[in-house]
Every structure is written in structure tokens, then in C-alpha cells.
């Protein structure tokens, strides 16, 4: 109860500081009081549940529980802007939680805020420790990205630029999809189908691992080496936006600084934004609809997405290399309305599927 009261006071101090018209502010406060009281009385209500309850849902609609795979956690929620533009991009957002916690429903406020900018937003669940260890949750991220890329006609009404984004552990997943091409290739798409990647307070260069729990999630020196996005940077990365607070004590700022330097050294398109006075969670505050974005994080995201959306639409490939004929047949099954099987050449190590336009 004490914790809930403290949360209530904190929320309403924030609301009083927000730049809302007086009438709307009174209406929002009245609704907020009711919601917070309910949350205090409900012992299972988390801080994120409260944020979602108080955040605006205007300007977007959603479809929940869309399966992108066969596991119970292979599901995503899709948020659509009410008035999308022709070139409106899709943002696939991975939440954080140290690779061992998190639910897509908890980050509805992020999706709604991005949808208010005119974006389509997908938030997937992925498998967590202790059920899995690295790299299984990254493969889940690749599977979600491939599903969205292949099914844009059905999901968002046509081919659109696809951005991957994430916060904390989610930024780690998004970045590995961008810099280590084998994850997306295994899922059946190429990383050049990504228009860009947005990393919020992400761990990209976090060796040596000293935490006992992280040693279980990333077991052994080879796995730990392969878990570092900075180790896979080459000259073919999609454009990258790195956003980090300089007071982050959870994921050190050096992760973004080092990653930016490595990307820059290979000639990649890299935008680095460091926000004075912000800690690990502060970078998510601008996504809360009743809080101000004094740091300009949403403006930076909007500028980045706008710059790299022009003329960038994922294309369905004409041919693709696969590790086996079975994988090739699985791939063609995702395009039943666009392709028919052509010829499969089975070799010692790979099979090539030639796709014919229908």
C-alpha cells in the first residue's frame, strides 16, 4: 500500500508538470485517480500496468496475440495508427528485462506513443531464461522480424520500411539482428531488408561478464564472445541510432560509445545521442503520453526514421540459399500467394530454391 501511494504521488506530480490544457488535465487527473486507486487495491498491478492504464490510447488500434511461431511466447501485438501515411514505416520493438523477464502487454505505452507518430508498431514476446539461453531469444527476434517482413500485405496493407528497435536487453537483440546477418538468414530474410535499427540504452559490449545470473544466460567464453554485437560489425550494417543516458548505472554508456566508434570505423551510417542526466529507465519516459519529452528523444527517433524511410521497402527475394531442402520448403510456405515452387537443387551443404512469380 505504501509503495502504491508513493507511485500515485509521483505520477500526479508528473501530470501537474505536463503541458496539457487545463480542462483536459482535470479530466485526465480524474480518470487517473480512479485508475491508480484500482491499481493500489489490486495487489498484482505493476508500475508498467499503471503507466499503461494512465497512458492515452487515442490515435491507434491494435490486434493482439498474433502468432509468429509455434511456441506459446512466439506471439506479437500489432498497433496501427488511425491515419497512416502511404510511407508509414513498421517498427518492431523488443522490450528489455535482462533476458529473463518481460511481457509484450507491459509495453503497450511504447507502442501507442510510436503509433501516435504515424508508425505501425509490433511488440513480440520471446523466450526467456531459464527456459532458454543465448542465442535462442535472438533467434526468436529474427523469427518475429521475418514474419513481419513476409506478411506486410496482410498486417499493414503493403510493403513498408521495417525498423527494429529495443530497450536494454531488447536493444541487444535488435542490434544483433542488424550486425550478425546469420540470424535473419536462418529465419529466411536478409538484413538489407531492414531500414534501420534503434537502440535505447542497449548492451553491445559488456564483457567481461561478472554477474552470476548473466553467466547462466551466456554460458561459456565462446557463447559470451558471440553474444557481443560489437564483435560482428562490418561495413554492411543498416543505419543505426544509439540513444543512451549519461547517468545509466545499469548498462554503462560505454556500450553505446564503443559501438558507435566501431560502426563509424567501418563507414556505417551511425547517429549517437547521449542525454545528460538520464538513467537507464529515463529513456523510456518520453513514451509515456502524459510526461514531457524534455530530452527530445522522440524527436530524434522521428528524425532518424523519417530520414531512412524514404524509398526503403522490404522486397520479397527472387532466390535464396538454404541449409536444407526442408528449410527451403518451409520458406516457400510463407509465400503461398506470391510464389510457386520451382526447382530445388540439393547439394552436400545447401539447397537453392528458385522462386517463380505467380
Residue spans of the domains in the chain: they are 1-54, 55-309, 319-357
- Phi/psi region, residue 208 (left: phi>0; alpha: psi -120 to 50; beta: rest), is beta
Alpha helices in the chain (DSSP H): 2-17, 22-41, 47-54, 108-116, 136-150, 152-156, 169-179, 182-187, 212-217, 221-226, 254-265, 297-309, 325-332
The per-residue pLDDT for 38 is: 46
The pLDDT, as a whole number, for residue 311 is 57
Strands 90-94 and 75-81: unpaired
**For position 248, what pLDDT does the model report?**
98
How do the pLDDT tens digits run along the chain, 358 residues long?
444 444 444 544 444 444 334 444 444 444 444 444 444 344 445 678 777 877 767 668 899 999 999 999 999 999 999 988 778 999 999 999 999 999 999 999 999 999 999 999 999 999 999 999 999 999 999 999 999 999 999 999 999 999 999 999 999 999 999 999 999 999 999 999 999 999 999 999 999 999 999 999 999 999 999 999 999 999 999 999 999 999 999 999 999 999 999 999 999 999 999 999 999 999 999 999 888 777 899 999 999 999 999 655 555 454 444 444 544 544 444 444 444 444 333 333 334 444 433 3
Q: Report yes or no: 65 and 122 within 8 Å, Cβ to Cβ.
A: no
Cβ distance 243 to 211 under 8 Å? no
Residues whose CB falls within 8 Å of the CB of residue 185, separated by 6 or more in sequence, listed in order: 191
Distance CA 318, CA 336 (A): 14
Q: What is the largest CA-CA distance in the chain?
A: 71
pLDDT on residue 312 = 56
Q: How far apart are CA 141 and CA 164, in angstroms?
A: 9
Enter the C-alpha cell of residue 175. 542490434
E-state strands within 40-85 = 60-67, 75-81
Task: Please compute, for residue 181, the number of CA atoms within 13 A of its CA located in the half-sphere on the CB side.
Answer: 12
Fold for 55-309, please state it: Rossmann fold (3.40.50)
Grid coordinates representing 96 are: 528489455
pTM for this prediction: 0.77
Q: Among 98, 177, 115, 99, which Cα is nearest to 141's?
A: 177
Amino acid at each position: 500500500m505504501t509503495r502504491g501511494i508513493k507511485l500515485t504521488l509521483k505520477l500526479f506530480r508528473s501530470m501537474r508538470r505536463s503541458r496539457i490544457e487545463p480542462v483536459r488535465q482535470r479530466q485526465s487527473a480524474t480518470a487517473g485517480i480512479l485508475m491508480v486507486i484500482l491499481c493500489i487495491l489490486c495487489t498484482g498491478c505493476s508500475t508498467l500496468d499503471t503507466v499503461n492504464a494512465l497512458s492515452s490510447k487515442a490515435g491507434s488500434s491494435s490486434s493482439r496475440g498474433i502468432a509468429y511461431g509455434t511456441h506459446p511466447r512466439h506471439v506479437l501485438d500489432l498497433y496501427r495508427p488511425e491515419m497512416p501515411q502511404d510511407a508509414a514505416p513498421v517498427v518492431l520493438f523488443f522490450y528489455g528485462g535482462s533476458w529473463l523477464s518481460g511481457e509484450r502487454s507491459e509495453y503497450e505505452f511504447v507502442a501507442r506513443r510510436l503509433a501516435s507518430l504515424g508508425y505501425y508498431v509490433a511488440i513480440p514476446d520471446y523466450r526467456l531464461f531459464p527456459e532458454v539461453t543465448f542465442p535462442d531469444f535472438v533467434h526468436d527476434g529474427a523469427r518475429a522480424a521475418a514474419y513481419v517482413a513476409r506478411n506486410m500485405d496482410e498486417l499493414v496493407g503493403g510493403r513498408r520500411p521495417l525498423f527494429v528497435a529495443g530497450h536494454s536487453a531488447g536493444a541487444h537483440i535488435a542490434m544483433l539482428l542488424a550486425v550478425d546477418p546469420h540470424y535473419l538468414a536462418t529465419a529466411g530474410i536478409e538484413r538489407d531488408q531492414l531500414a534501420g535499427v534503434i537502440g535505447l540504452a542497449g548492451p553491445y559490449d559488456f564483457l567481461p561478464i561478472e554477474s552470476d545470473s548473466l553467466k547462466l544466460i551466456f554460458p561459456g567464453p565462446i557463447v559470451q564472445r558471440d553474444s557481443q554485437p560489437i564483435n560482428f560489425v562490418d561495413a554492411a550494417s543498416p543505419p543505426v541510432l544509439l540513444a543512451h543516458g549519461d547517468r545509466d548505472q545499469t548498462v554503462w554508456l560505454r556500450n553505446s560509445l564503443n559501438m558507435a566508434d566501431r560502426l563509424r570505423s567501418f563507414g556505417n551510417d551511425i547517429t549517437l545521442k547521449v542525454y545528460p542526466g538520464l538513467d537507464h529507465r529515463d529513456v523510456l519516459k518520453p513514451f509515456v503520453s502524459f510526461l514531457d519529452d524534455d530530452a527530445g528523444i522522440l524527436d530524434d527517433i522521428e528524425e532518424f526514421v523519417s530520414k531512412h524511410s524514404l524509398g526503403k521497402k522490404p522486397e520479397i527475394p527472387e532466390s535464396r540459399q538454404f541449409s536444407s531442402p526442408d528449410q527451403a520448403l518451409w520458406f516457400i510456405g510463407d509465400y503461398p500467394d506470391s510464389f510457386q515452387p520451382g526447382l530445388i537443387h540439393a547439394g552436400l551443404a545447401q539447397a537453392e530454391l528458385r522462386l517463380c512469380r505467380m
